[in-house]
Amino acid sequence: MKKNQFKAFLSALLFFVGVGMYAQSVSGTVTSEDGPLPGATVVVKGTANGTTTDFDGNFTIAASADAILEVSFVGFTTQEVAVGGQDQITITLATDNELEEVVVTGYGSQRQKEITSAVVKVDAEDFNKGNINDASQLLQGKVAGLQVYNRGGDPNAAATIRLRGISTVGANAQPLVVIDGVIGASLANVDPSDIESINVLKDGSAAAIYGSRGSSGVILVTTKSGKEGKVQFNYNGQLGVTSALNTVDIMTAQEFVAAGGTDLGSDTDWVDEVTRQALTTIHNFSAAGGHGDTSYRISANFRDVEGVLISSDFQQFNTRLNFTTKALNDKLTINFNSALTKREQNNGSSESMKYAVLYNPTAPIYGVDSPYQFASEQFGGYFETLGLFDSYNPVSIANQQINKGDKTEVNYSVNLNYKVSDAITVNGNFANQVSKYSNKLYNPTTLLRGGNATSPLRKGLAEFYDQTYSFKLAELYGNYNANFGNTKLVLTAGYSFQQQNFEDHFTSLGDFPDNSLDYINAVEYSQDLLNAGLIGANSNKSPDDRIIAFFGRANVTIDDAIFINASIRREGSTKLGADEQWGIFPAIGVGVDLNKYLNTGADKFKVRVGYGVTGALPGPNGLSQQIRNFTYDGGQGGGSSSPSRDANPTLKWEEKAETNLGIEYRKGKWDATLDLYTRDISDFILERTVDVTLYPTGRRFENAGKLNTKGVELALNYEVNDMYTTGLVLSSYSTTLDEYVLDAEMRANLGAPGQNATAVVRVKQGEEIGQIWGPVFEGVSGGNPVFADINGDGQVIAAQDKALDDNVDMQELGNGIPDLELGWTNQIAFGDWTINAFFRGAFGHSLVNTFRAFYEPRLSTQGSYNFVNTELAQDGLTTARFSSLYVEKADFFKLDNLTVTRNFDMSNSDAFDSIQVSLNAQNPLVFTSYTGLDPEPALIDIGEDGRGADVLSPGLDRRNSYFASRSFTLGVNIKF
């Protein structure tokens, strides 16, 4: 209200001034569908002569009879009106959602309608709600083609983010994150509550301007900033409860004993013992405001999050400052951004979850309850089933192991924007980021797992790890704007310099006298010091890992309906082979607003085509160089080096070329965007087996092949009525291995016990990736599985190590990649209430349920482990051997996120501007036939140790997955 009065006053003043200065005047009224528009701008085209409408939408302006008036207002299409001798004109402006929809595209921004590539913007109000501690999860299911999967609910694990499926093989597959223009910034350093909007650049033509780091997609994050006006305070608080949603079906103590298991006399629900109702507390404070040319926002965020596993949690403090001001006669805009994150976490051991599943359910927790004489004090009071392979008391691990992480992240960036003239601006981006992480792990002398508690003398193990990562960015670029008739031109050219430094140190030493010493301050009592060779130590440094790039771009808009965007980036990296350091990344996109030329009756009908090339850099340094080991000879001090990895000086850029066709259509209550794409990833980098006679280490990094992905994405929105809007996002793709250095290969080994040399994913040239490959289970005979004679030759060859042989009886048992993924948003608003219900599903993918593959058969020799006992368990099967029996369809459909919000009317309050209370449920309903922990697709294989990231082997639900969880969160938002 105040603002409008001020504007009315201003308008009136201008009106009088105008009247005083110009004799010839034109009057008029500017209206919209809903009535008069106060504050609209009216300018005589080609002059500086302008005014704004008053409170009733009226204006008067001095203009000649042949002048053209340009009338514009935020949220409406600008209209040009010829005066044509009239002295009273009524102008009705049409609403234009796109006009103000400015989309950040990298080194600049464009109006939504000028975009020629697949770019999706998600605003804060559309983000996922509830117990979300990782910014990427805000987007889960919201953007067609963007896969965000956090299998299980580990509070300390980052989500796997994939854009349009597999984007690279040997390189970093996480998307490039750009925060407020800073390339390569850390998503972990932004609190989700500080994010204003996120743009996802989906196709190559948009991402190409980011060159070698753009292949895995680009996520542009814009943080909240201050606006002119009074200081606005905001408090957001959340209190959540999380519990394990699903655990592996295992036998109860009674069932276990009945099935012939060793009875140790107790009845323990191990899963229950290592999990909890976990509490989450979140507080976000912010203050934002501005005066004149200066605006600011400062925030402080506290998160105290417990994991479902009793030993996992984190506490995080984050603060962010955003400050903007102008100088040099307003020609220079200075923006300063800074953030600090301090986090302390208990990592917990996902092994406690694994052992909770397979530990004997009749075993007691504590040694005093042992059915036989047991030296409890040696194990910290806990019971242990000594002498079994891979069997450890999960409660003992969870309670005794110390696994603490400590993380500090700081970044600051300065953006200088200098307006040389109306046509030319020059930008400088300077950013610095430092991340430090340290981890302290201690397996006490009384811990069997890793602490060697059975030994009379040598026990306990301490590990220390710290790493420092720093990143520097310096970029300079300029923009030039020009208009030629009905053609608008924007040229951009610039230079980018990026440098990363990484360093880490690792030390492990063990054999402590007992637990009475605080190991962190008493490592001098380690017996390993007596024999220095037994102290583990490792350090790595990869300094001055640089990227240097030159880029240019032209945006051409013709007739405000034909849009052409072309860019080129030439970029070099230290990580590539000496002869192949530089790459060129071109892109072109064309879009046409067909509505302007065809009378379709639609509100929007735009077609766009884009083509772009991006790259992907390998993760580690030095892949092109030979690396050697140094061997000391018998501890005598002398020794020599010998090769440990072979060089490849011709290692070159992994390139992704992508063509995208998009159609955007809106009519009435319908809004639809369809994207079709095809992309080729060529020269993907992979460490592979090479001819050992030529390369003695047998492995080296090579440009190993080519992948093609074809996909389709559809986003549909429908406004059912004033109260209810709904949106559907669908995506589907398939990826084929067009070329590969080998004809075929088996990947993803299941592992011990007994299933080594049991790789279950087949990669074959010319075929789709993600094939789970093995024998088909037909039944049980004499305790053994019977497999199908697939080729009908009368003999069954089903040993997994022969999977690639010609006469083998195996087939594709499922595919790890979903055929269709779906996100369905629903928003219902009535009065002060809003309900958001978000459903999500994935269909057509399978998972290898490894818990079942190892522990469901009733192995007579493993009667002291619990048995997994799903409805798929086979009576009488007593040997574990991989087959179709353990490959399950993992289709799911779930109510992912349900939020009910109540707004309280505070218009009569002096203290508060608004109060909002919300109740949120994550994962309240899941529909799936999958018997394992979590039916979410496993897009990468984490390997037996849980540390891998093999993108060529999707579809494995590994034993060390964190339990999936369900949360309920109460939130309050107060503005004052």
Near other proteins in 635-694, by CB under 8 A = 635-643, 688-694
The number of residues that bind other proteins (CB under 8 A) is: 116
Name the segment binding other proteins (CB under 8 A); options: 162-170, 379-387, 932-940, 967-975.
Answer: 379-387
350 lies in the site for other proteins, by CB under 8 A: no
Instruction: Provide the minimum distance between the beta carbon of 410 and other proteins in the complex, in angstroms, as a whole number.
Output: 22
795 lies in the site for other proteins, by CB under 8 A: no
Figure out which of the listed residues 35, 85, 601, 634 binds other proteins, where binding follows CB under 8 A: 634
CA-to-CA distance for 15 and 65, rounded, in angstroms? Answer: 19
CA-to-CA distance for 589 and 115, rounded, in angstroms? Answer: 8
Nearest to 575 by CA among 613, 614, 540, 617: 617
Cβ–Cβ < 8 Å for 335, 942: no
DSSP 536-555: EEEEEEEEEEEEEEEEEEEE
236 lies in the site for other proteins, by CB under 8 A: no
Nearest to 181 by CA among 107, 124, 252: 107
Instruction: Provide the minimum distance between the beta carbon of 515 and other proteins in the complex, in angstroms, as a whole number.
Output: 18
CA-to-CA distance for 502 and 364, rounded, in angstroms? Answer: 46
CA-to-CA distance for 318 and 29, rounded, in angstroms? Answer: 50
784 lies in the site for other proteins, by CB under 8 A: yes
792 lies in the site for other proteins, by CB under 8 A: no
Figure out which of the listed residues 405, 513, 698, 943 binds other proteins, where binding follows CB under 8 A: 698
703 lies in the site for other proteins, by CB under 8 A: no
Name the segment binding other proteins (CB under 8 A); options: 155-163, 329-337, 518-526, 795-803.
Answer: 795-803
Q: In the numeric block, which tokens belong to residue 697?
A: 């280490």
- Phi, psi (degrees; rounded to nearest 5) at 206: -80, -40
**Element of type H or E holding 756:** strand 755-764
Q: Please tell me the total number of residues recorded for the chain in this structure.
A: 976
Figure out which of the listed residues 404, 488, 546, 975 binds other proteins, where binding follows CB under 8 A: 546
Instruction: Provide the minimum distance between the beta carbon of 543 and other proteins in the complex, in angstroms, as a whole number.
Output: 6
Nearer to other proteins, 474 or 820 (CB): 474
Residue 453 burial class via C-beta count within 10 angstroms: exposed 0-12, middle 13-18, buried 19 and up:
buried
Name the segment binding other proteins (CB under 8 A); options: 11-19, 415-423, 667-675, 842-850.
Answer: 415-423
Name the segment binding other proteins (CB under 8 A); options: 169-177, 398-406, 476-484, 589-597.
Answer: 476-484
Name the segment binding other proteins (CB under 8 A); options: 62-70, 348-356, 423-431, 887-895.
Answer: 423-431
796 lies in the site for other proteins, by CB under 8 A: no
Name the segment binding other proteins (CB under 8 A); options: 221-229, 822-830, 858-866, 942-950.
Answer: 858-866
CB atoms within 10 A of CB 689: 12
Residues 130-189 that bind other proteins (CB under 8 A): none
Nearer to other proteins, 859 or 938 (CB): 859
* CA 388 to centroid of chain Cα atoms: 40
Nearest to 401 by CA among 346, 455, 456: 346
Nearer to other proteins, 548 or 556 (CB): 548
CA-to-CA distance for 371 and 363, rounded, in angstroms? Answer: 9
Figure out which of the listed residues 854, 867, 886, 892 binds other proteins, where binding follows CB under 8 A: 854
Provide the CB-side half-sphere exposure for 178 (13 A, CA): 23
Residues 263-302 that bind other proteins (CB under 8 A): 264
One symbol per residue from 49 to 68: x for binding other proteins (CB under 8 A), - otherwise; what is it? --------------------
Nearest to 712 by CA among 825, 587, 821: 821
Cβ–Cβ < 8 Å for 917, 901: yes
Residue with tokens 């310099």: 497
DSSP 79-132: EEEE-TT-SEEEEEPPB-HHHH-EEE-SSSEEEGGG--S-EEEEEGGGS--SS-
Figure out which of the listed residues 518, 633, 871, 945 binds other proteins, where binding follows CB under 8 A: 633
One symbol per residue from 583 to 622: x for binding other proteins (CB under 8 A), - otherwise; what is it? --------------------------------------xx
Given the DSSP bridges, would you call strands 914-928 and 892-904 parallel, antiparallel or unpaired? antiparallel
Query: Helices marked H in 328-449 — which ranges?
Result: 350-358, 394-400
Name the segment binding other proteins (CB under 8 A); options: 542-550, 585-593, 726-734, 917-925.
Answer: 542-550
Cα dihedral sign, 696-697-698-700: negative
381 lies in the site for other proteins, by CB under 8 A: no
Name the segment binding other proteins (CB under 8 A); options: 145-153, 381-389, 592-600, 894-902.
Answer: 381-389
Nearer to other proteins, 75 or 696 (CB): 696
Name the segment binding other proteins (CB under 8 A); options: 38-46, 115-123, 454-462, 905-913.
Answer: 454-462
Figure out which of the listed residues 35, 46, 456, 792 binds other proteins, where binding follows CB under 8 A: 456
Nearer to other proteins, 873 or 970 (CB): 873
Residues 870-889 that bind other proteins (CB under 8 A): 878-882
One symbol per residue from 434 to 453: x for binding other proteins (CB under 8 A), - otherwise; what is it? ------------------x-
CA-to-CA distance for 970 and 242, rounded, in angstroms? Answer: 12
- Phi, psi (degrees; rounded to nearest 5) at 183: -65, 140
Figure out which of the listed residues 545, 671, 713, 891 binds other proteins, where binding follows CB under 8 A: 545
Name the segment binding other proteins (CB under 8 A); options: 129-137, 472-480, 666-674, 891-899.
Answer: 472-480
Name the segment binding other proteins (CB under 8 A); options: 284-292, 607-615, 625-633, 907-915.
Answer: 625-633
* HEC per residue, 691-721: CCCCCCCCEEEEEEEEEEEEEEEEEEEEECC
One symbol per residue from 499 to 538: x for binding other proteins (CB under 8 A), - otherwise; what is it? --------------------------------xxxx----
Residues 747-776 that bind other proteins (CB under 8 A): 752-759
Figure out which of the listed residues 340, 491, 661, 674 binds other proteins, where binding follows CB under 8 A: 491
CA-to-CA distance for 476 and 721, rounded, in angstroms? Answer: 48
Figure out which of the listed residues 14, 424, 558, 970 binds other proteins, where binding follows CB under 8 A: 424
Nearer to other proteins, 862 or 920 (CB): 862
Instruction: Provide the minimum distance between the beta carbon of 645 and other proteins in the complex, in angstroms, as a whole number.
Output: 9
483 lies in the site for other proteins, by CB under 8 A: no
259 lies in the site for other proteins, by CB under 8 A: no
Cis peptide before 586 (omega within 30 of 0): no
385 lies in the site for other proteins, by CB under 8 A: yes
Residues 554-573 that bind other proteins (CB under 8 A): 572-573
Instruction: Provide the minimum distance between the beta carbon of 779 and other proteins in the complex, in angstroms, as a whole number.
Output: 16
Nearest to 410 by CA among 435, 438, 443: 435
476 lies in the site for other proteins, by CB under 8 A: yes
Nearest to 846 by CA among 869, 823, 813: 813
Instruction: Provide the minimum distance between the beta carbon of 372 and other proteins in the complex, in angstroms, as a whole number.
Output: 9
Figure out which of the listed residues 7, 111, 802, 975 binds other proteins, where binding follows CB under 8 A: 802
Figure out which of the listed residues 230, 291, 331, 628 binds other proteins, where binding follows CB under 8 A: 628
Figure out which of the listed residues 743, 819, 832, 905 binds other proteins, where binding follows CB under 8 A: 743
Q: Any residues with CB less than 8 A from the CB of 842 and at least 6 apart, and which?
A: 818, 820, 821, 822, 890, 891, 892, 935, 936, 937
- Phi, psi (degrees; rounded to nearest 5) at 533: -65, -15
Q: Any residues with CB less than 8 A from the CB of 864 and at least 6 apart, and which?
A: 261, 262, 360, 385, 388, 391
